[in-house]
Amino acid sequence: MAKPPVQYTPELADAICERLAGGETLRAICRDEGMPDGRTVRRWALEDLQGFGAMYERARLIGYLGMADEIIDLADDKTADTIVDGEGVRRPDHAAVQRSRLQVDTRKWMLSKCLPKVFGDRVTADVDHHLMLEHRASSPFELARSLAFVLALGRRQAATLAAEDETVIHLDRFQPKEKAQ
């Protein structure tokens, strides 16, 4: 059964974004009475209705960063790792351990897909190849023009790579420095 349409209000937008930032899923929020369905919320965000798109994006980002904190808590929580059997002997609860592993892995996967520049695997490629360019110019002017074209392509590619690198959060600067011996 479809939910009745809900009109956009700034108060409703604030409530949705506050809950998203707190780590709730959009699905869980939209199940509640008086909330719009998920398609409506996403449409408001895509249309940037009264600035909702930017609010939604920030709330999602904050929620994802909270999810990263939650991974640490889930991995460190040992309370459900063992159970006491009928004879009073403490034994590992393999189902609980597997459930925790699934929760951690699911959150890690989500973060790697939703925030790939922060939580995704960084792919690097080392290229050790010499480029030999043979150009038979009919005049020195054509040779200079071809060389300028190749240099411009190189500059453009370097600028693009530099811009991409600036958007990555470099966590390596927070690593302890090794002492010189």
Please give the pLDDT value at position 172: 47
Please give the pLDDT value at position 141: 80
Buried b vs exposed e over 86-100: b needs ≥16 C-beta within 10 Å? eeeeeeeeeebeeeb
Q: Hey, what amino acid is at 158?
A: A
pLDDT in tens, 38-71: 999 999 999 999 999 999 999 999 999 999 999 9
Q: How many CA atoms lie within 13 A of 27 on its CB side?
A: 0
Does CATH place domain 10-119 in 1.10.8.620? no
- Under a CB-based contact definition with an 8 Å cutoff, are residues 100 and 77 in contact? yes
- Under a CB-based contact definition with an 8 Å cutoff, are residues 167 and 117 in contact? yes
Please give the pLDDT value at position 140: 78
Please give the pLDDT value at position 134: 65
Consecutive sets of 10 residues in the chain, 181 residues long: mean pLDDT of each? Answer: 87 97 96 95 96 96 95 93 92 93 95 90 72 67 81 82 58 49 51
- The domain spans of the chain are 10-119
Please give the pLDDT value at position 135: 60
Please give the pLDDT value at position 174: 47
